[in-house]
Amino acid sequence: MGEIKVKIGLENFVDRYMYLEKKIEENEIRKYEMEAIVETGAMMLVLPQDIIEELGLIPDCQRQTLTPRPESPIYPSLKLK
């Protein structure tokens, strides 16, 4: 059984809001493009720490997850394109 991969664009939603409020320029919106594996039952997106930092995402809360790191931060300020 093979993997399904798609190219996705990620954008800092707070930056987008700041742009719409004319507080920053459009070219200041932090964005990232990558190839991602599609998981049909997934409810969340998992990102490496370096991408989280590059996008300037700020965690909103912690959620229990079934991962090696059970207390995982949630970043609601991300827009998936």
Range of the domain at 57: 5-80
pLDDT tens per residue across span 34-57: 999 888 777 778 888 899 999 998
The CB density around residue 51, as the number of other CB atoms within 10 Å, is 12
Residue type for position 46? V
* Owner of token pair 């998992």: 46
pLDDT tens per residue across span 5-18: 999 999 998 999 99
- Angle ∠(62,20,75) on CA atoms, nearest 5: 10
Instruction: Give yes or no for a contact between 9 and 33, defined as CB atoms under 8 angstroms apart.
Output: yes
Total structural domains in the chain? 1
DSSP secondary-structure letter at 26?
A: G
Give the closest residue to 52 by CA, choosing from 71, 70, 67, 72: 72
